[in-house]
Amino acid sequence: MKLARIELRGFKSFCDNTKISLGGKGISVILGPNGCGKSNVVDAIRWAMGEQRVKHLRGHDMSDVIFAGSGDRPAMGMASVLLYFDNTVGKSNFKYSDFSEICVGRRIYRDG
């Protein structure tokens, strides 16, 4: 299976709904200047796949993954990451082998 798409909302620096498509053939890269959120994409993937150690997500508390606000925007109350995997080859666990796309996601609310 290949990671085809990532959808982020309120996760770290991604306050707006953000979709990152990775479905092309070959290698996909995320490129940008320092401070643009490249590492936050990697953190989002780790977090959605179940990472429990906050230090591996570069935070002190799990609520640190929720957009904290900026000069122009208020803090958000929720963070969500969805990972969409292309399963057209049917190589996943047999329970899901009939599905062409499999989604794994995680959500956290600031109020617990």
- Quick: pLDDT tens for 50-66: 999 999 999 999 999 99
* Per-residue confidence (pLDDT) for residue 94, from 0 to 100: 74
The pTM of this model reads: 0.89
Q: Using one digit for the tens of pLDDT, what is the confidence trace for 64-108?
A: 999 999 999 999 999 999 999 988 887 777 788 888 899 999 999
Provide the 10 A C-beta neighbour count for residue 100: 10
73, 102 in Cβ contact below 8 A? no
